[in-house]
Amino acid sequence: MKAWILAARPKTLPAAIVPVWVGSAPSLLGEHSGTGSWLLFWCTLGSCICIQIATNLFNDAIDHHKGADTGKRIGPTRVTSSGLLSSKMVMIGAIAFCLLAALISIPLVQARGWPVIVIGLVSLYFAYGYTGGPFPLAYRGMGELFVILFFGLVAVLGSAFIQTGEAGGREMWILAVQCGFYSCVLIAINNLRDLTEDRETGKRTLAVRFGERFAKWEIAFFCLAPAIPGLVQFPDMKDLFVQPIPMLAFGLFLSVLIFRTPPGPVYNRFLALGALQLILFAILQGV
C-alpha cells in the first residue's frame, strides 16, 4: 500500500482539488449559496482526483520505459524505476483509476449531458498523453500549457458548469487562469529540480530548452502574476490584505528561495510549498 501511495504523488493532488473547489464554491458557499449541489461537487472532485492519480501512474511507468528516471534522480522515488512495483501493475492501476473516474462522473453526465462526456474523454486521453502516445506533451516542453488548460480553465470552468449549467463570467475565467498559474508552479519546480536528468535523457522541458535562469524566472512569474488581478480589482485596503497581498507575499517568499538555491533535493520541500500556495489561494477565495 505504501508503494501505491508513493506512486499517487499526494503532493500533486492539490492541483486537482483546488480548481474544483474554486469553481464550485460560489454556488455552494458564496453569493449564490444553496443553488449548487454537494453531490455534484463530490463527484466532480472524486473524478478529478482519480484522473490526477491516473496521470501520475502513467507518468511513472512511461518515464521508466523511456529511461527518463535514472539513478541520478534527486526527486521522490518512482515506484517503477525503483522496482517497488512492476510497470505492468502501475499501468493497470492507471487504467483502473481512469475507469473509476468515469464511473464517478455518471451523475455529472446525468445532470449536464454531453459536454461532460467530451470534457471527460479529453481529460482521460491526456492522462495518458501527457507522457505517452505519439505526441507526449511533457517531452515537448508543453507541460505548463497542459497544466494551465486542464488544471486551470477546464477544471475551474468545468466545475462551475457542473454547478450552474453555465461556463461562468469574467471573474470565473480570471480564477481559472490564476489556478492554472499556481498549479504551474508545481510542474516548473519539478522540471527545474530534474533539469540535469531530463537533459541527459532527452526530456525537452522548458527548463531543458531555455536553461536554469529561465526556469527560475518562470517560477517567479507563475508565483506572482496571479496576484495582479486581485491588486487591481480590490480598491478597498482591507480587501487587499485579505486576499492578494498574502498571496503576493507568499509568492515572493517562494521565488526568493528558488533564486537563492541551486537545483537539488531541497526542491522537494519547495514543491510542498508550491502545493501550500495553491491551497492558500483556495482558502482565501472563501474569506
pLDDT in tens, 15-46: 899 999 999 988 888 665 667 899 999 999 99
In this structure, which amino acid lies at residue 149? L
pLDDT of residue 229: 78
Q: Phi, psi (5° rounding) for residue 121? A: -65, -45
- Identify the domain containing residue 53 by its residue range: 2-285
φ and ψ of 71, to 5 deg: -70, -15
Contact 147, 140 (CB under 8 A): no
Longest pairwise C-alpha distance within the chain: 56
Q: Which of 15, 278, 31 is nearest to 172 (CA)?
A: 31
Task: Indicate the pTM of the whole model.
Answer: 0.89
Burial class (CB in 10 A: 0-12, 13-18, 19+), 171: exposed
Contact (CB, 8 A) for 88 and 60 = no
Better-predicted residue by pLDDT, 234 or 188:
188
pLDDT, residue 241, reads: 46
Query: What's the number of domains the chain is made of?
Result: 1
Q: Are 116 and 43 in contact (CB under 8 A)?
A: no
Measured in whole angstroms, the distance separating CA 5 from the mean position of its chain's CA atoms is 17
